[in-house]
Amino acid sequence: MATEKPVTPTEEQLKILEHNFCKVNKHPDPTTLCLIAAETGLSEEQTLKWFKQRLAEWRKSEGLPSESGSVRD
Domains of the chain: 11-55 (1.10.10.60)
pLDDT tens by residue, 5-61: 667 899 999 999 999 999 998 999 999 999 999 999 999 999 999 999 999 999 998
CA torsion 15-18-23-24 (nearest 10°) is 100
Q: Which residues of 8-27 are buried (b: 16+ CB within 10 A; e: fewer)?
A: ebeeebeebbeebbeeeeee
For residue 65, what pLDDT is reported? 78
DSSP SS3 for 10: coil
* d(C-alpha 33, C-alpha 28), whole Å: 6
For residue 64, what pLDDT is reported? 82
pTM of the model: 0.78
Asked if residue 67 has pLDDT above 60, the reply is yes
Count the neighbouring beta carbons within 10 Å of the beta carbon of residue 7. Answer: 13
